[in-house]
Amino acid sequence: MTVRSLAPLAGAWKQAFHLATNGSGSYGKGLNLARNGAVAQIHTQPGKISAPVAAKKATHQAAIHLPELTAPQWDTLAAKLAADPQAVADLVANRIPASIADSGHAGGISIAPPADGITFSCSCPTGRTHRVCDHSAALGHAVAERLTATPSLLLGARGMTARALAAHVRDLVDGADPGPLPADTNGTVRAAQLYSLAAHRPAQQPTDLDLDTVSTLTWNDAPHPGPRARDLAQMTADAAARAQALLAGTTTAPHDELADIIRILASPDGTDHLAAAQHATEVPEPTLRAMMIGYRHGGPAGAHATLAATPATTEVLERARAAVHASRAVGLGAVTTDGDALTDTSAGVQIRPGPDGRWYPFTLWRGDEWRPAPGACDDPAEAFRAARRARAARPLRR
């Protein structure tokens, strides 16, 4: 699955969403909000995509409603994908197949909804009348931006998760040979996909033996059970991704043993290994979960910053505090030095220095627990603004 291969899905959504706004001025205003990071975490459920959207010192709950696909439509889509070895390999390896973006290769089923099937709602006055507002328009633009990387947004809203679709396709190909896996455009075949396909091909019949020529058979103890097919596929994909990062020189330091464990936990299905990770590291589960979020936002350095701020000199902390104060409006709460971090207690935000020299934003979660937020930056003032944006989009948990 690549950004380019799923571009048609994002393009189809953009066109339908644009037509659904019916020339409203909110379309352009929503684009500016989305580009400024106003849309927080996007949630999907059958028939609905929603997210908190921060604008003008207030956060509104915006939603986009769209029709679910019917059971016969899902059956048609699954049957078409089951006939495509590349799509089968993608799905059993927990990837969304590129062919799902093209209705011509998906049994005529379009994952992107028609424009007349899209409606809007929001907690703001305009949205309560079910007209498109700046906030629901921002959500629509954010969906378009994230579709190429997270096509499951539309799948879930159309009534089926990617995991359920993969299970449906696996049922159709169980015990059958899906055929050979075609190479990618660069001439390679992914090892994880090959293994996934092999696991779903019928077992080969054992070779007939002439027992008259066999005099003695000796058996050793039965071998230990091997790793699960899913784990092997995940390990293969992970090794390939790490090798690619090393070749490209994009591996982020410090990638030590703890960060490597968090990297596995932050991957798809990584939480299956949470108990083993807690036993191996002796780090409490809530801390591991917070470090997983930190890793997703800032890689190994983000995970380490979540565990603890990197020690900084008084001079560095004072210079950062002065930069934050200079960038803030008059009358806001005071920024204080809290150990090796800078904290605005009244706003519930904090920034910490990380081991890579960047500043990492955090927001108060509950009690004295801090959760990492996106927006790590070399500039402490910009990191502080990222923390405030995340605070506005994330209600305080008690």
pLDDT at 35: 87
CA distances from 362 to 74, 252, 373, 390 (A): 41, 20, 5, 8
Which contacts qualify for 379-384: CB closer than 8 Å, 24 or more apart?
379/323, 380/320, 380/321, 380/323, 380/324, 380/342, 380/351, 381/323, 381/324, 381/326, 381/327, 383/351, 383/358, 383/359, 384/324, 384/327, 384/328, 384/335, 384/342, 384/344, 384/349, 384/351, 384/359
Q: How far apart are CA 297 and CA 267, in angstroms?
A: 13
Q: Does the predicted model carry a pTM greater than 0.75?
A: no
* Lowest-confidence pick of 38-52, 115-129, 279-293, 381-395: 381-395
Give the DSSP H/E element, type plus range, for residue 352. strand 349-353
Mean pLDDT of the chain: 80
355 pLDDT exceeds 70?
yes
Q: Are 181 and 86 in contact (CB under 8 A)?
A: yes
Highest mean pLDDT pick, 44-48, 100-104, 200-204, 274-278 = 44-48
Q: Are 128 and 136 in contact (CB under 8 A)?
A: no
Retrieve residue 233's tokens: 């596929």
147 pLDDT exceeds 70?
yes
53-77 pLDDT, tens digit each: 998 778 999 999 999 988 888 888 8
Compute the average pLDDT of residues 190-217: 53
Q: Are 45 and 62 in contact (CB under 8 A)?
A: no
For 222, which DSSP code?
A: P
155-202 pLDDT, tens digit each: 889 988 878 888 888 777 765 555 555 545 444 445 555 555 555 555
Residues in the chain, how many? 398
Residue 272 burial (10 A CB sphere; 0-12, 13-18, 19+): middle
Rg from Cα positions in the chain? 25
pLDDT at 368: 78
* Lowest-confidence pick of 120-134, 150-164, 278-292, 304-318: 150-164
CA distances from 164 to 91, 156, 171, 175 (A): 10, 10, 11, 19
pLDDT at 345: 84
Residue 201 three-state SS: coil
Q: Are 328 and 370 in contact (CB under 8 A)?
A: no
> Who has greater pLDDT, 342 or 180?
342
> Who has greater pLDDT, 367 or 273?
273
> Who has greater pLDDT, 164 or 98?
164
pLDDT at 101: 67
Retrieve residue 241's tokens: 């991704």
* Lowest-confidence pick of 105-114, 134-143, 293-302, 326-335: 326-335
Q: Are 327 and 385 in contact (CB under 8 A)?
A: yes
324-338 pLDDT, tens digit each: 988 865 446 688 888
Give the DSSP H/E element, type plus range, for residue 49. strand 48-55
Compute the average pLDDT of residues 282-303: 90
Residue 392 burial (10 A CB sphere; 0-12, 13-18, 19+): buried
> Who has greater pLDDT, 264 or 183?
264
